[in-house]
Amino acid sequence: MSEPEIAPRKRFLAENPSALRFIGCLALFTLGVTVLSEGFGLAFLSTSMVKILGMTLCLCLIAVAMDVVWGYCGILSLGHFAFFGLGGYAIGMWLMYARTEGIVVQSLAAAPIPPTPTEIENAIATQIFGVVGSNELPFVWGFAHSLPLQLLLVLLVPGLLALIFGWLAFRSRVTGVYLSILTQAMTLALSLYLFQNDTGLRGNNGLSGLQNIPGLLHLSQSTLAIWFFWASALALGLGYLLFAWLVSGKFGSVIRAIRDNEARVRFLGYDVERYKLVIFTLTAVVSAIAGALYYPQAGIINPAEIAPIASIYLAVWVAIGGRGRLYGAVIGAAAVSLSSSWFTGGGAPSINLGFYTILWTDWWLVLLGLGFVAVTLFFPRGIGGLFDYLVRKP
């Protein structure tokens, strides 16, 4: 037998220069923002701007997860924002509880007799749930006093939900648009559930004051903002590497094969359902982590965040960025969410046509919607595809 042409084994990063390039860009960006930030550097970027950038990084992370589940594995999930929101809720519960506890303990310290643990808990419950007419701590808040436990819940709750939902859906071979509608139904059910006042998560009030981090109250928001920015950048970097590693090897080959022809993959002996379940659950957990980093920067979370439309927007970002390439998801999420906040926040100048003035706060969504149609029709590979076109070797 002649010596076959074997691809020599190389290090993962060396084999995936695009991942390396991405990490480099992210590091440069992080450094740049830090230098320009109010908290650490030259104060060219306001704290709210740093927060917006940090939040954008979290959105990029969930977009990368969405790209893996949709762009690589072909599952158009319209429910990943549910996991994002659940992650936010899980961390938000601790933030709110611990902060309220601090306030309550301080206010009770003036009492002649020191408070018992039950009294403290009741006071916290009244403080948090007075707004929905309750003064008892619901059982879902049983772990809210402990940061490690609640961090565990950030991973476990969305993970288990994804596992159970995915197991049910994939087992009965729900695919394509049916699966999309089913995931949409899941999100809708979850957000309707959270909208109720008696489910223990403050109904449509949601959780608020999340920007105040217990234990770090002595730090200014500008410092906290840059810390969270770093954490978000780190999470995005690690998440990106994880997924790049996942989709580059044989596993990636199998899930792309599932996307293209899942029946054929089955006849090769692969248990397609289990692969989908692994991808669905893993991306759900990463989405939850992104959410857990996002909401302390946003400061507030309510059930409207989980509404089905959010997850559809997520798909829009990935499609515009170019699915099937991880950096495309990052570009799409960053470009669309940043320009959305620029246009709707009144940053964009109005255009006076003489007979009519285009106010971008009114017309941005029209532009986005039509632009999205155009991308789907004319650039199915999105902005990332445009990149490919430009750098393609002649």
**CB nearer to other proteins: pick between 272 and 298:** 272
Binding window for other proteins (CB under 8 A); candidates: 45-53, 173-181, 213-221, 328-336 = 173-181
Among 14, 263, 353, 391, binds other proteins (CB under 8 A): 263
Which region among 59-67, 94-102, 132-140, 373-381 touches other proteins (by CB under 8 A)?
373-381
Query: For residue 231, which amino acid is it?
Result: A
CB 158 within 8 A of CB 83: yes
Residues 106-145 that bind other proteins (CB under 8 A): 111-119
The two three-digit tokens of residue 214, written as one number: 């217990």
**What tokens does 216 get?**
């770090």
The pairing of beta strand 207-208 with beta strand 300-301 = antiparallel
Q: How far is the CB of 267 from other proteins (least distance, A)?
A: 5
Per CB under 8 A, the segment of 34-42, 56-64, 140-148, 177-185 that binds other proteins is 177-185
Tokens of 36: 């320009």
> Which residue lies nearer to other proteins by CB, 5 or 353?
5
Per CB under 8 A, contacts with other proteins among 199-258 are 246, 249-251, 253-254, 256-257
CA dist 55 and 293 (Å) reads 8
Smallest separation (angstroms) from other proteins to the CB of 264: 5
Region 27-86 residues binding other proteins, contact defined as CB under 8 A:
76
Residue 184 contacts other proteins per CB under 8 A: yes
Binding mask 265-284 vs other proteins (x if CB under 8 A, - otherwise)?
A: -xxxxxxx-xx--x------
By CB under 8 A, residue 392 contacts other proteins: no
Calculated CA dihedral for residues 75, 329, 83, 170, nearest 10 degrees: 10
Rounded Cα distance, 83 and 98, in Å: 23
- Residue in 198, 68, 90 with CA at minimum distance from that of residue 149: 90
* Residue 353 in the binding site for other proteins (CB under 8 A): no
Polymer length in residues for the chain: 394
CA angle 326, 8, 248 (to 5 degrees): 15
**Distance of closest approach, residue 55 Cβ to other proteins, in angstroms:** 21
165 binds other proteins (CB under 8 A): yes
Q: Give me the helix-helix angle, 326-344 and 17-36, nearest 10°.
A: 30
